[in-house]
Structure 1
Amino acid sequence: MTVRIGLIGAGGMGRAHVERIENELAGGRVVAVADLNLDAAKEVAEPLGATAYGSGAELIADPDVDAVLVATFGKVHAPDVIAAVEAGKYVLCEKPLATTPQDCIAIMEAEQKVGKKLVTVGFMRRFDPGYQEMRATLASGELGYATLVHCRHRNPSVPEGYVTRNMIDDTAIHEIDTCRYLLDEEIVSVRVDAPRSTSRRFDHLRDPLVLVARTESGVLIDDEVNVNIQFGYSIECELVMEAGTIRLGDQNTTVTRDSHGNRNPICRSHVDRFHTAFNQEVQQWIRAVERDEHTGSTSWDGYAATCVVDAALESLESDGREVTVSTIDKPAFYA
């Protein structure tokens, strides 16, 4: 079986998914592309022999589309995700699932009404081998339980349209979900501290920020978000346990040693750093759709991360006050 995939969103992320589905992965084919900019949809669709649509609704209604990949802006995800669920089609939705808890709840309600988990959220770091090894080490119990997680999310730069709240809702959301994945528990409170800002930022941006969070069992998480660090894209994580620690390995396996010292290439963006994770995520999703099964993170995971983002934004706007994360009770459907 070849899974016939409809892509909603013909921007950079959508095109990257087309490239991997068509040239690197097995079992899937892009048969339709939708974008409010119909010319952009046609530009992506025509070389594939796919159908171009000017709206997600038209694509979802296409009987030739088996599953839907949503790669638009987060604030417009909910209507298309809900429509796909109501049509009984599996969805891989890029993070965030939605930008408000209310929209996430509406998506969960749609799934529960259908009675089937259909939505996977694109938290691709769950598929990174380093994070998977960290999780397995903690689960083994050989080093005891977790006490701390230190995270660093550093970008060389960001475009001028990137604003301070994006440091939380677009950037730190990765660490928020990653820590939930590593620790297998919810984050219950969060605060955001603003140290001295770098001179390399746009004037409207507060950069860097440090997000500090606590989990149900009391694990303390700190996440440095530093998006104009200049030297490259660097993702770091150290999980501290009772009898040892585990850190993400270096970015690359090759190291040059010469008169200048030991050095390795530095990634420039998430595209090269997490290429393998993206491929594993989409490949697993395609194979699960073939089997008529859900895989990966759920709508609840998308909702829980959005609730932490909401609390962090409230803290940011109140000069670093610690804010309790407010959530509904987890439905048994997602247990």
Structure 2
Amino acid sequence: MTVQVGVIGTGMIGQEHIRRLTDTVAGARVSTVSDVDTERAKEVASGVDASAVDTGQEVIDDPAVDAVLVASWGPTHAEYVLAAIEAGKYVFCEKPLATTAEDCRRIVDAEMAGGRRLVQVGFMRRYDTGYRAMKDAIDSGSIGAALLMHCAHRNATVPEAYHSEMATHDTAIHEIDTVRWLLNEEIRSAQVLKPRTTSLRFEHLQDPQVLLFETASGVRVDVEVFVNCQYGYDIRCETVGERGTLTLPDPHQMVLRSDFQVRTHVHQHWKTRFAEAFDVELQEWVGSVLDGEMAGPGSWDGYAAAVTADATVQALHSGRVVDVPLPERPAFYA
């Protein structure tokens, strides 16, 4: 069987997913696409022998579409995910699941009311080889109980439209999900420190920021978000345990020794740093659709990340430690 995928949103990430589903992922075909820019949708559709329709709802309503991929503007995500759930169709939603915790909760409630998991959220870190190796090592107890975690998320530059709250909602949201997944527990409190700011930023932006989290069991986590580091796209993670440490490996890169120097390449973009993770993510999603059982990060993970992010932004503005008001995970998402 081939999964017929309808794609809502043909911007940069949408086109990346369409390319993967067409050229890399087995068992899937892009059959229908839509975008607010209808001409772009038609152009993208023609390149993969798909149909272009005017609205995302038409994609969901298309009887030929088995599963939906939402890669549209963030504020539209809740509408399309809820519509896909109502239609009984599997849906992969790029992060964020929704732009408010309230809308994320609506999705959780709708999915539970329907009685089966249909939603996967695009937290692709879970599919990276290095992160998966770290997860396996933590779960095996090879370093004993985790005590501390140190993370960094650095971008060379960001556009002027990027503002201080986006350091959490758009950037560290990946670390928030990754911490929850690696440690298999929720974040209970958040605090934000404001170090000396870099002069190489727009005036309205607090950069860098240090996000401090405490998990339910007392693990302390720090996340450096530095989005004007100038030198590249640099993702780091170290877990400190009772009997050892785990460090996220750098992606495999050639090392050049020449002219009395040792040099290696630094990734400049998430598209190259996590290229393989995106491949695995979509392949496993298609496999889940074929199996009829979602296995990846789901609606609860999107909701938990949103609630944690809201508390973190509150901490940014207040300067205080803020509790994360997350209820108990429903048994439905165990």
Could you state the TM-score of these two structures normalised by the residue count of structure 1?
Answer: 0.98
C-alpha distance after superposition, 1:73-128 (max 9, x if no partner): 22221010000011111011111111211101110111112111000011000000
Q: Which residue of 2 aligns with 1:204?
A: 204
RMSD (Å) for aligned C-alpha atoms = 1.0
C-alpha distance after superposition, 1:161-203 (max 9, x if no partner): 1111111100000000001111000000001111111111111
CA distance in 2, matches of 1:304, 1:170: 15
CA distance in 1, matches of 2:106, 2:184: 24
Task: Name the amino acid aligned to 1:117.
Answer: R
Q: Specify every segment of 5 or more residues in structure 2 that has no aligned partner in the other structure, as ranges.
A: none
Question: Matched residues, percent identical?
Answer: 51
Q: Which residue of 1 aligns with 2:32?
A: 32
C-alpha distance after superposition, 1:16-48 (max 9, x if no partner): 001111111111111111112211211211222
Q: Which residue of 1 aligns with 2:305?
A: 305
Task: Give the C-alpha shift of residue 292 in structure 1.
Answer: 1.4
Q: Which residue of 2 aligns with 1:53?
A: 53
Q: Which residue of 2 aligns with 1:156?
A: 156
CA distance in 2, matches of 1:108, 1:180: 18
Task: Give the C-alpha shift of residue 333 in structure 1.
Answer: 1.0
State whether residues 251 and 266 of structure 1, in contact with CA within 8 Å, keep that contact through their aligned partners in structure 2. Answer: no
1:279 aligns with 2:279: yes
CA distance in 1, matches of 2:164, 2:143: 37
Task: Give the C-alpha shift of residue 159 in structure 1.
Answer: 1.2
CA distance in 1, matches of 2:75, 2:192: 22
Q: Specify every segment of 5 or more residues in structure 1 that has no aligned partner in the other structure, as ranges.
A: none
CA distance in 2, matches of 1:233, 1:252: 15
Task: Give the C-alpha shift of residue 250 in structure 1.
Answer: 1.7
| 2:196 counterpart SS class | coil
Task: Name the amino acid aligned to 1:308.
Answer: T
State whether residues 210 and 225 of structure 1, in contact with CA within 8 Å, keep that contact through their aligned partners in structure 2. Answer: yes
CA distance in 2, matches of 1:26, 1:190: 41
CA distance in 1, matches of 2:186, 2:306: 12
State whether residues 195 and 209 of structure 1, in contact with CA within 8 Å, keep that contact through their aligned partners in structure 2. Answer: yes
Could you state the TM-score of these two structures normalised by the residue count of structure 2?
Answer: 0.98
State whether residues 22 and 28 of structure 1, in contact with CA within 8 Å, keep that contact through their aligned partners in structure 2. Answer: yes
State whether residues 3 and 29 of structure 1, in contact with CA within 8 Å, keep that contact through their aligned partners in structure 2. Answer: yes
Q: Which residue of 2 aligns with 1:120?
A: 120
State whether residues 253 and 265 of structure 2, in contact with CA within 8 Å, keep that contact through their aligned partners in structure 1. Answer: no
State whether residues 149 and 237 of structure 2, in contact with CA within 8 Å, keep that contact through their aligned partners in structure 1. Answer: yes
C-alpha distance after superposition, 1:249-296 (max 9, x if no partner): 123332111224222111011100000100000000011111212120
1:11 aligns with 2:39: no
Instruction: Please say which of residues 303-312 and 67-76 is displaced more in the overlay.
Output: 67-76
- Counting only pairs closer than 5 Å after superposition, residues 231-246 of structure 1 correspond to structure 2 as 231-246=231-246
Task: Give the C-alpha shift of residue 142 in structure 1.
Answer: 2.5
Extract structure 1 runs of 4+ deviating beyond 6 A: none
- Counting only pairs closer than 5 Å after superposition, residues 248-267 of structure 1 correspond to structure 2 as 248-267=248-267
| 1:59 counterpart SS class | helix
Task: Name the amino acid aligned to 1:329.
Answer: E
Task: Name the amino acid aligned to 2:277.
Answer: A
The total of aligned residue pairs comes to: 334
Task: Name the amino acid aligned to 1:331.
Answer: P
State whether residues 94 and 122 of structure 2, in contact with CA within 8 Å, keep that contact through their aligned partners in structure 1. Answer: yes
1:93 aligns with 2:93: yes
Instruction: Please say which of residues 324-333 and 98-107 is displaced more in the overlay.
Output: 324-333
CA distance in 2, matches of 1:262, 1:3: 47
Q: Which residue of 2 aligns with 1:325?
A: 324
State whether residues 252 and 264 of structure 1, in contact with CA within 8 Å, keep that contact through their aligned partners in structure 2. Answer: no
